[in-house]
Structure formats: C-alpha cells, structure tokens
Amino acid sequence: MRIGMVTLGCDKNTVDNEYLTGLLSRDGHTLEIANPANPPDVVVITTCGFIQAARNQSLAAIGEWAAVRREHGTRLGVIGCLAQKSREDLLREYPEIDFLAGVGEFQRVARLVAGESRSRFLPETSGAAGSWNLGGQSPAAAPDIDIEFDDREFAAGAPRVVVPTTLPRKRLDNRVHGFLKISDGCNHTCTFCSIPLMKGVYSSVPKNLLLDEARRLLDDGIREINIVAQDITKYGLDLEKRFMLPELLDELASLDGDFWIRLFYLYPSTVTTDLIDVIKRHPKIARYLDIPLQHLDPAVLKRMRRPHDQERTMEMLRRIRRELPEATLRTTFIVGFPGETPAEFKTLTEAVKEIRFERMGVFTYSREPGTPAADMPNHVTEKVKARRRDKLMKLQSKISAEWASEQVGTEREVLVESAVAGKPWYVGRSHSEAAEIDGVVRVYSETPLRIGSFVPTRIVEADTYDLTAEALVQPPE
C-alpha cells in the first residue's frame, strides 16, 4: 500500500511522523511525502493546533486532501494536536475523513492507516490519547450505526505522549540534521498556551532509548542532532525526580562520530550551572541556546505565569555571556499580551538592547480558546500588537546586522548541507544558525565539498541574517 505523509507544525510532529513511518514501513508499506498530483492509497495528515495560524494551515491541508478523496478515493486520516483538540468540529466539517486520532498513539494509528480495524470507530482503551476509526464512511453516511466510544476520558485531558519502548523510525528526506525528542507534554501552566490541553502532562523518554535512537540517527547519516521537547530542561524530573539533561547530554556527546548537538527550548528558570558546565565541557554541543523568554517585564510575565523574577532571568543571561562568550542566544517574545502597557513594552525593548540576542523571533499574542489568558481583561488591539512587533523586529534586525558584520574575518566551522548546481558554491550552517529557523552560511570552494562534512571557513561578507565564507581547504592538484 502506498501511504503519503503530511507533516505540519513543530519538530516534535516530525519525530512522531517518523515513528509512524517506521512502523508502517516495517509492515511492508511504501511511504512517501504526500503529493496531491500523484495521490497515494492513504494519506495521513499530522496536524498542529497551537495557534490560529497553525490551525488554518492544518484546515487548508485537510480541505485539499478531502477534495482528493472525493475525486480519487484516497483514504484520509487526520491525526495529531488539532484532531486531539477539535474532533467534533473536524468530523462535522469534513465528512471525507476516514479515521481520526489524537496524539501519541503511534501503533494504534499504524493499525488505523493499514485498515486493520473493522469497527466504525476505534474507542480508546489504553488511558492515553483518543482515536477513532470511521472505516471509510462519514458520520452522515450511516446515521443508524451506533458510535461506540466513551468521550469522558478524552474530554478530561487524558492525552499523553509516552514512548516506553524503542520504536522503528524512518525519515522521508535526506537532510543532514535530525531531531531527538526527549520528552513530550508539559506541566507548566502558562496562561496563553494550549499545549497541555492537547499533549497532556510531561513525559520523559527513558535515557537508554534516547541513546539507542541517537546512534541510529548517526548511522543514518545525521550530523546534527537537534534536542527538542516542550521544555528540555525538565528532562528526567518525572522519571527520577531530578534534572537529568546534563547527564543525558554528557552521554550523547560521548558517542562516537563527527556530529553536533543543538538545544531547543530551555526553560529560563531551569538553566542550571550543571547544564552550562556540560556545554562548556563538550565541543560537540553547539554554542547555541534557544531560551524562549516570552517577555521581560515582571508584571507581564506574572500574568503569563512565566518566571517573573526579571533580575534572576537577566543574571542567567549575563552568566551565559560570561561563561560562554562565543554562544549564540536565541529567544522568542510575545507582544500584545492582555494588559500589556506601553511602559511594559518599553521594559522589554530595553532588556533586548542590553542582552543583544543574536537570534530572536517575535509573535503577536493569539487568543486561544480554553486558556486563562483568553478571558483576561484589557486585550490589546491587533493594530497595536502589529506595531509593537514591527518595532521590536526593527530593533532586532539592527542588532543582527551589527553582529553579522562583526563576524567578517573570523573563522568558523560549517556543516555543509547542499551544493549549488554547476557552481563552486555550497550552503551550510555554523553553530550560530539553526536549520529552518535562522540564516545560512554560503561557502565558496574550488575544492569539492562533501555534503554532511564539517569544513573550516573564513567569513568574508555578511548581511542581516546570512554570512558568506570561503572554505579553508586545499584546492585539488
């Protein structure tokens, strides 16, 4: 059976789809990236429900494949966060959906995709995420059939993503970077965020499974392992009641091979001395720390239920600057949170001027149903949100451009990711650029460079976000 995969949303969805692809491939199916121009037998859309823009993207994909189903008969499966969050709405709007599942049910979804369940709906029995199988029929197509599942557990927040055993994993691309999801779910109570409603409580993957999976990624040609989770700094707390991220990183960085490790989503209050020390100790760990702060005004942070001791957060950032002076700091901020005053926004801009993050993303607040912030008073207008976002990004653009110009003349190791056809140019990244998020390093080399290799370079030119370099390798004789 030909099965097409559509992956939307975050890198954790990418990992989940690779688990599912591995299970289906092991069962003898042919897996591919779904293409409406060449419809497969079954298509599986892994959705995102985080904010409205992500939901719109997921709904557009479902609508596109619903049309393909009507014309070609391709079975349509919808899984993931939006399916977890908005089951009834999706079934009502898209009767073409053949099966629907929430989060974390990799083996159950594999059975749904393969059509092994003969019931119209597959009720949830494991106490984890909900999943339902419509057996190729829309709810409206057979109104006399009883729908047999208990909705109470799903509605009560039962979703949970757990990886208790080694799962096969298959990539559908040949990129030299990959993702290691060390946990899923979240125990934080940020007032703006709906992730706990969709993913459930924090669940760490056992360390031995992660080490085995990292070895398999390296054997598969990965040269940069991106560590991802809702919050990687809490890793292990649910397993052994202690912060195990430094220990995990120590063991990952000790694996054989030439590769980088890159860290994503470090919760600001749990960036510990032990964590900084292990980064300093291992050159394989990229000097790149992604610490989404969301804001830097104490009053706004308190309303967000984020760490609101501003001085403690600022001292953590200053400590990183002192102890890892070569580190690239990346963060994200939310502007226009309910009640954000001009003075609170100014506090944020002044802190950005002091820390001078090399990389920064800015989002306008999205009012998410079911979250505490949605019912807060004094919502900021969309016009003011956009103006504040633009002002902060203009400031960041200036900081980024100044930082980039300071790199001219320096030497940097670059991971080569692709070649420009017919020209002596390559595209890669140094430790300062994360894949698919930041800029790139364009590398000139008369000597052919191998994709996936680490090459010494000298930076010769810079613009706001990208760098241009020449490879420091000997030309062929």
Q: Which of 138-142, 335-339, 464-468 has the lowest mean pLDDT?
A: 138-142
DSSP assignment of 375-416 = G-S-PPPHHHHHHHHHHHHHHHHHHHHHHHHHTTT-EEEEEE
In contact, 43 and 88? CB cutoff 8 Å: no
Q: What is the DSSP letter of 476?
A: P
Q: What is the pLDDT of residue 35?
A: 95
Domain-terminating residue out of 386, 406, 426: 406
Exposure string over 191-213, b if 16+ CB within 10 A, otherwise e: bbbbbbbbbbebbbbebeebbeb
Does a structural domain hold residue 62?
Answer: yes
Q: What is the pLDDT of residues 255-296, one digit of tens each?
A: 999 999 999 999 999 999 999 999 999 999 999 999 999 999
Does a structural domain hold residue 384?
Answer: yes
Does a structural domain hold residue 36?
Answer: yes
CATH code (residue 19): 3.40.50.12160
Does a structural domain hold residue 339?
Answer: yes
Percent of the chain with pLDDT over 70: 89
Token reading at 114: 């393969």
Domain count, the chain: 3
Q: What is the pLDDT of residues 232-247, one digit of tens each?
A: 999 999 999 999 999 9
> How far is residue 153 CA from its own chain's centroid?
27
CATH code (residue 433): 2.40.50.140
Shared domain check, 114 and 237:
no
In contact, 232 and 263? CB cutoff 8 Å: yes
SS3 50: coil
Shared domain check, 15 and 43:
yes
Dihedral sign of CA atoms 371, 302, 328, 388 in order: positive
Contacts of 380 (CB under 8 A, 6+ apart): 336, 337, 338, 339, 340, 365
Shared domain check, 428 and 402:
no
pTM recorded for the entire structure = 0.89
Place of tokens 């090399």: 358
Q: What is the pLDDT of residues 148-206, one digit of tens each?
A: 222 323 334 456 777 767 788 999 999 999 999 999 999 999 999 988 888 888 999 99
Does a structural domain hold residue 464?
Answer: yes
SS3 100: strand
Shared domain check, 431 and 361:
no
Q: What is the pLDDT of residues 26-62, one digit of tens each?
A: 999 999 999 999 999 999 999 998 888 899 999 999 9
Shared domain check, 451 and 333:
no
Q: What is the pLDDT of residues 362-397, one digit of tens each?
A: 999 999 988 999 999 999 999 999 999 999 999 999
Task: Using pLDDT thresholds of 50, 70 and 90, give the confidence band for residue 141.
Answer: very low
Q: CA geometry: angle at 352 spanning 347 and 356, to 5°?
A: 160
Shared domain check, 335 and 213:
yes
CATH code (residue 369): 3.80.30.20
Dihedral sign of CA atoms 190, 194, 195, 197 in order: positive
Shared domain check, 244 and 222:
yes
Domain-terminating residue out of 362, 379, 406: 406
Q: What is the pLDDT of residue 474?
A: 66
Does a structural domain hold residue 417?
Answer: yes
Total residue count of the chain as it appears in this document: 477
> How far is residue 109 CA from its own chain's centroid?
21
Shared domain check, 447 and 316:
no
41: nearest Cα among 96, 79, 5, 3: 3
Range of the structural domain that residue 425 is part of: 411-471
192: nearest Cα among 384, 369, 377, 392: 369
Shared domain check, 191 and 145:
no
